[in-house]
Amino acid sequence: MNTPLEIPSRRPFDMDTVRRDFPILARPLPNGAALAYLDNGATAQKPQAVIDKVREVYETCNANVHRGIHQLGDRVTVELEAAREKVRRFINAEDSAEIIFTSGTTMSINLVAQAWGRKFLKPGDEILLNEMEHHANLVPWQQTAKATGAKLRYLPLTTDGQLDATHFDRLITSRTKLVAVTGMSNVLGTTNPIRELAARAHQVGAVILVDGAQSVPHLPTDVRDPQIDFLAFSGHKLFGPTGIGVLYGRRQFLEAMDPFLCGGNMINEVHLESSTWGELPSKFEAGTIPIAEAIGLGAAIDYVQSLGFDAIHTQETKLLARAMRLLPQTPGVTIYGPSLERRGSIVSFTVEKVHPHDLADLLDQKGVAIRAGHHCTMPLHDWLDVPATARASFAFYNTEAEVDALIEAIHYARHKFRLE
């Protein structure tokens, strides 16, 4: 049953007010530099409302859920199920029972690989992936393919890092049983054609899983339009706590799957020789889930909805456009991925003769926080023919001045390497 909840009221987007909502943004770094946090693709900062909510749980109703017959247990259970309903509404799932709390995107995908893939895939079946996927959406399917005899197939990429749609009909066939794809590349920023992929997958009777770790925090998500069978995302990239994630699954698939983890809470009856499973979502929530974190995720969703994705998209597009205009004007810089129209708020780049790790260290001296490395996408970096990239990933609380600080810090790094 879906619990009715009050929809957060929309407020005007005012950058000064938004920045004040995130206390860490006003704190100087240990070296005294002002923070320009451009590593939101790794984890996003948390608004005070989320911090306060997690603290409130521990201070006022700390107890286990669905267990204690006492006031604290009743209250925290109500809070948890309200958070589940917020997630349901946020992604427009049909029923809150289709919302499974996990530890994050990685666990959510592994749950599907183990509980759906190992049960329903067989030799000769095909799993369709692509080279831009995060390791969390590659390695579980490699292991599942080995265990079941299924075969991995890969959609090729265009030269600018998009899925090559001309190969959809050739590679999505009656042998395809699963299409696993990221909603937004964590390196290239590419936003993928989920609607087209879902329609094509369903035409041949295949299931589609979407890794929404990067897309869900920045773009509206509706799992019923287009019809998505599985969606995985993490709370900490959605301005919520770490240690909490979501697996959405269509009821018909979740009910057909076997449990991934077994123990307390996920059972109906246990006998010495056999057990039966609880109803959804308990069936996939063995043990004590991250309770305060799940409730904090609900607060994060409230916060995002109070701003609205229109305002979020407008601000992040402005930042991305500025970065994509200024970075190529900086000597020695090469950026990777598609044009602004097919990209989310992520830009990865290299600086000639400066290793990304050295670049990130020098930028940090100026207070600019970015990510450097292969970003858990080794096959993609092999395709790009570079061992590593630097990545700036933006959120709505970033400013154009912070984009300028990124450019100035790159010049500083080039000067340190005597390149200018």
Q: Which CATH number is 133's domain given?
A: 3.40.640.10
Asked if residue 1 is part of any domain, the answer here is: no
Number of Cβ within a 10 Å radius of residue 22: 20
Q: Determine which one of 51, 152, 204, 376 is catalytic.
A: 376
Asked if residue 2 is part of any domain, the answer here is: no
Model pLDDT for residues 185-240, shown as the tens digit of each residue? 999 999 999 999 999 999 999 999 999 999 999 999 999 999 999 999 999 999 99
Residues 171 and 284 grouped into a single domain: yes
Residues 119 and 141 grouped into a single domain: yes
For 301, the domain range is 54-305
Asked if residue 8 is part of any domain, the answer here is: no
Tokens (6 digits) for 412? 């500083």
Asked if residue 335 is part of any domain, the answer here is: yes
Residues 19 and 101 grouped into a single domain: no
Residues 376 and 291 grouped into a single domain: no
Q: Which CATH number is 361's domain given?
A: 3.90.1150.10
The pLDDT of residue 8 is 72
Q: Encode the chain (420 residues) as per-residue pLDDT tens digits.
A: 444 566 677 889 999 999 999 999 999 999 999 999 999 999 999 999 999 999 999 999 999 999 878 999 999 999 999 999 999 999 999 999 999 999 999 999 999 999 999 999 999 999 999 999 999 999 999 999 999 999 999 999 999 999 999 999 999 999 999 999 999 999 999 999 999 999 999 999 999 999 999 999 999 999 999 999 999 999 999 999 999 999 999 999 999 999 999 999 999 999 999 999 999 999 999 999 999 999 999 999 999 999 999 999 999 999 999 999 999 999 999 999 999 999 999 999 999 999 999 999 999 999 999 999 999 999 999 999 999 999 999 999 999 999 999 999 999 999 999 998
The pLDDT of residue 67 is 83
Query: What's the half-sphere exposure (Cβ side, CA atoms, 13 Å) at 217?
Result: 31
CA pseudo-torsion sign 170, 173, 177, 179: positive
Establish whether 376 is a catalytic residue: yes
Amino acid at 68: G
Residues 410 and 291 grouped into a single domain: no
In whole angstroms, what is the distance from residue 88 CA to residue 96 CA?
5
Q: Is the pTM of this model over 0.75?
A: yes
The pLDDT of residue 149 is 98
Distances (CA, A) of 324 to 60, 159, 320, 373: 47, 18, 6, 20
Residues 312 and 366 grouped into a single domain: yes
The pLDDT of residue 10 is 84
Distances (CA, A) of 263 to 65, 78, 133: 15, 23, 32
Q: Please tell me the total count of domains within the chain.
A: 2
Closest CA to 214 of 347, 330, 308, 111: 347
Of the three residues 277, 305, 333, the one that is the final residue of a domain is: 305
Contacts of 203 (CB under 8 A, 6+ apart): 172
The pLDDT of residue 7 is 66
Of the three residues 244, 277, 305, the one that is the final residue of a domain is: 305
Amino acid at 197: L
The pLDDT of residue 1 is 40
Contact 224, 127 (CB under 8 A): no
Contact 395, 44 (CB under 8 A): yes
Residues 130 and 21 grouped into a single domain: no
The pLDDT of residue 172 is 98
